Amino acid sequence: MEKFQPVRGTRDLIGEDFRRHQAVVDTARQIAALYGFEEWATPIFEETRVFSRTLGDTSDVVSKEMYSFEDRGGDSVTLRPEGTAGVCRALVSNGLTQSNLPRKVFYAGPMFRYERPQKGRYRQFHQIGCEVLGAAEPLADAEVIACGYHILKALDVAEGVVLEINTLGDTPSRDAYRAALIEYFKAHAEALSMDSQVRLDKNPMRILDSKDEGDKKIVASAPTIAEHLTPEAAAFYAAVKKHLDRFGVPWRENPRIVRGLDYYSHTAFEFITDRLGAQGTVMAGGRYNGLVEEMGGPATPSVGWAAGIERLSMLLEEPPAADRPVAVVPMGAEAEDAALDMVQALRLSGVAVDIAYKGNFKKRLERANKLNAIAAIIIGESELAEGMAVVKNLDAGTQVRVPADEVMPALAEIGVDGAVFDELMDDMGEGDEEE
Ligand code: ATP
Ligand code: MG
């Protein structure tokens, strides 16, 4: 039979891959909490118009990357290509647009885009993201960026990652800039890619983000927004940079950053690295002042970013270690019964335990070693008869013989401490008396 394979552009996360992924999410979640972000989970699919109306017709995502389909009821739904639109939709749907603003939201989960798969680019990929909803102040931009930077630091991947920032200005700045860009690109129209010729009419700023090599050459000499900023937009940008300095976040300006989605204004930024080949953007975002209105809510100026978990995982130096269980190894059927009592008592004390379902002593020890067990608890015939157990340190090869109800202290000597259990009991308000 032909072996099934995962769909092109999707990956299974197993072993070290999963642990890398999980370490990114756990770290990001903890740091985001330090900045006051609460976690939300929104559906993985939405009505298609949640994305089509908001991300922009000329964005790559809407024009060619969405996984959209008609469901059995005839409704058009789309697997979310990004997280921000869903979060904004949720703010509106749940009637949260009026109170407790700004609202600071963290999310993590899978996203779907029909792209050409390559290293660091998948069709199902995963993002973490932070959004500050309902804050017009430049301090919000700086704080959400500082949180992102802090996450990169905590993951120990900030080395070689650079924050590039730009401003897309306010509406009058953009209108003036747009006119200047149209004039410039019109003069080079025949040399532009077909995609960019379409963008020229619809959204010329989009051309700045083109990945076409020919376009990039033309973009290199295009006018920048700096000369077209209104005094207000320039002051906003200056304030963001001032606050970033205060937060200790290093940055550099890149006037070419426009971001891949159409909803941004004012601040746009990317954390980039050359350690990932062509897929060098690890975290990206900006200010989006019109998005919540597009969802039928009131004006809710917001700012946020998203980061690719796969790309961050690749940057992690050391994969986080797998948990090491304790293996309980009985010799003979009678000992196995007693071993089950021990297994379950240890698990109730918060110790991760493996017991093989079958096999002789040798086979069971082999399994313990394959699982990288930290210790084996061996119950042989004489141990069974005398109510004893042998606790073997599998790293050192040393062993002690102790009464069966005293294996916990012996395990503690090896560094196994039942921490999970203590935390659980504390949470339940039943913590046993500690120092
Ligand atoms: P790119 O320019 O790489 O296509 P983008 O502008 O489309 O990125 P965003 O929509 O801003 O990306 O998404 C934020 C982050 O999510 C990216 O910086 C990247 O780390 C990650 N990302 C985006 N698309 C993919 C993908 N197909 N596979 C893996 N990660 C992705
Ligand atoms: Mg893209």
Q: How far apart are the C-alpha atoms of 132 and 37, rounded to whole Å? A: 8
String of DSSP letters for 79-137: E-S-SHHHHHHHHHHTT-SSSS-SEEEEEEEEEE-----BTTB-SEEEEEEEEEES--S
Q: How far apart are the C-alpha atoms of 161 and 148, rounded to whole Å? A: 12
Q: How far apart are the C-alpha atoms of 43 and 148, rounded to whole Å? A: 24
DSSP, collapsed to helix, strand or coil, labels residue 433 as coil
pLDDT tens, residue order, the chain (435 aa): 899 999 999 999 999 999 999 999 999 999 999 999 999 999 999 999 999 988 887 778 888 999 999 999 999 999 999 999 999 999 999 999 998 999 999 999 999 999 999 999 999 999 999 999 999 999 999 999 999 999 999 999 999 999 999 999 998 998 899 999 999 999 999 999 998 998 888 888 889 888 899 999 999 999 999 999 999 999 999 999 999 999 999 999 999 888 766 678 899 999 999 988 888 999 999 999 889 998 999 999 999 999 999 999 999 998 889 999 999 999 988 999 999 999 999 999 999 999 999 999 999 999 999 999 999 999 999 999 999 999 999 999 999 999 998 999 999 999 997 754 444 445 444 444 443
The answer to whether the beta carbons of residues 145 and 286 sit under 8 Å apart is no
Which of 60, 127, 211 for mutating ligand 1's site (highest number of atoms within 8 Å of CB)? 127
Q: How far apart are the C-alpha atoms of 219 and 62, rounded to whole Å? A: 22
**Closest ligand 1 atom, CA of 81?**
10
In the chain, count of helices (H) and strands (E)?
A: 16, 16
Task: Tell me the whole-structure pTM to 2 decimals.
Answer: 0.90
The answer to whether the beta carbons of residues 16 and 314 sit under 8 Å apart is no
For residue 61, report the distance from its CA to the centre of ligand 2, in Å.
7
Q: Shortest CA distance to 416 belongs to which of 320, 350, 331?
A: 350
Nearest ligand atom owner, CA of 123: 1
Which residues line ligand 1 at a C-beta cut-off of 6 Å? 82, 113, 115, 120-122, 125, 127, 260, 279, 281-282, 284, 306-308, 310-311
- Computed on alpha carbons and rounded to an integer, the radius of gyration of the chain in Å comes to 28
